[in-house]
Amino acid sequence: MSDEKLSQTSITRGLTTRFIGQNVIYYPSVTSTNDIARQQALAKAPEGTAVIADRQTTGRGRLKRAWVSPKGNIAVTIILYPARKSLHYLTMLAALAVLRSVEKTTRLKCQLKWPNDVLINNRKVCGILLESQAASNSVDYAIIGIGINVNMKLSDYPELTSTATSLADETGEEVPRPVLLRNLFQEMEKLYLSLQAGESPLAEWRDNLITLGKNIHVRSDDDVFEGIAESVADDGSLMLRCADGNLLKFMAGDVTLR
């Protein structure tokens, strides 16, 4: 396989989705695809609009961390207008769409780490950042930022080699990003339409989590908790069984496997 230059045409060529990815806004370089997507969502861009960049200069992940996004990777943000009851499922949906599309494109086996990391051989290959504007009973918009390490060489980033990997490093060859993006849009749409029809992604997401059953540390704000990751609740929260028998629930946090 060899990579093909990203463009609106190369990404949408042969795409069979109904709406996700049918409207592509492509930039060679941006500060953050989430920032552009938020502006587009406020202007009521069509649902499924995808903002894509070859390179992000100030990409960010969860917990206000910087996200390294050099040329050769995928930085994409998808705009959705979901029902309020569906909002907490979107991170699960996105993680599963990445897992399915990476496996379909490369045949590499992926794993998920709570709450939203995609791993290959226990190293991070993708991060997901969901941002939304919502009221108690409605959602103005949801934007799902997805950063996938595709063709970057981790040897150029020695500070990341112990925790991160890329598809090219794992396969030994370049991965065609337009193909991966089309597969991602297709899998995202399947899952999103199933969600709208009342089907939950929880079971498939839970079954791919490597976190469950493990002794872990959870950092939440300035506190660190240790215990066994016992289960996940219906809303995706992590249930941590502490040594004293208490069961704690985390809606968000940073997990370290012990």
Q: For residue 236, give the CATH number of its domain.
A: 2.30.30.100
The percent of residues in the chain predicted with pLDDT above 70, rounded, is 94
Mean pLDDT of the chain: 91
Sign of the dihedral through C-alpha 251, 146, 144, 121? negative
* Domain presence at residue 181: yes
Please indicate, yes or no, whether residues 95 and 128 belong to a single structural domain of this protein.
Answer: yes
Please indicate, yes or no, whether residues 221 and 146 belong to a single structural domain of this protein.
Answer: no
CA separation (Å) from 242 to 221, 232, 234, 238?
18, 15, 20, 12
Q: pLDDT tens digit string along 208-247?
A: 999 999 999 998 878 899 999 999 999 999 999 999 999 9
Please indicate, yes or no, whether residues 38 and 129 belong to a single structural domain of this protein.
Answer: yes
Please indicate, yes or no, whether residues 171 and 65 belong to a single structural domain of this protein.
Answer: yes
| Res 161: pLDDT | 87
Q: Measuring CA to CA, which residue among 8, 3, 167, 164 is closest to residue 98?
A: 167
The C-alpha atoms of residue 83 and residue 236 are separated, in whole angstroms, by 17
Please indicate, yes or no, whether residues 169 and 227 belong to a single structural domain of this protein.
Answer: no
* Domain presence at residue 2: no
Give this prediction's pTM: 0.93
Q: Measuring CA to CA, which residue among 200, 258, 236 is closest to residue 250?
A: 236
Within the chain, residue ranges assigned H as helices are 8-12, 33-42, 90-106, 167-171, 177-196, 202-207
Please indicate, yes or no, whether residues 177 and 232 belong to a single structural domain of this protein.
Answer: no
Domain range for residue 249? 211-257
Domains of the chain: total = 2
CA separation (Å) from 230 to 93, 173, 254?
21, 38, 16
Please indicate, yes or no, whether residues 92 and 156 belong to a single structural domain of this protein.
Answer: yes
User: Buried b vs exposed e over 18-38: b needs ≥16 C-beta within 10 Å?
Assistant: eebbbbbbbbeebebbbbbbb
Q: pLDDT tens digit string along 22-46?
A: 999 999 989 899 999 999 999 999 9
Start-to-end Cα distance in the chain:
37
* Domain presence at residue 1: no
Please indicate, yes or no, whether residues 117 and 180 belong to a single structural domain of this protein.
Answer: yes
Please indicate, yes or no, whether residues 202 and 231 belong to a single structural domain of this protein.
Answer: no
| Res 135: pLDDT | 85
| Res 253: pLDDT | 81
Please indicate, yes or no, whether residues 129 and 163 belong to a single structural domain of this protein.
Answer: yes
Which CATH number goes with the domain that contains 107?
3.30.930.10
Please indicate, yes or no, whether residues 25 and 142 belong to a single structural domain of this protein.
Answer: yes
**What are the tokens at 20?**
């996700």
Please indicate, yes or no, whether residues 161 and 228 belong to a single structural domain of this protein.
Answer: no
Q: pLDDT tens digit string along 43-86?
A: 999 999 999 998 888 655 444 555 556 778 999 999 999 999 99
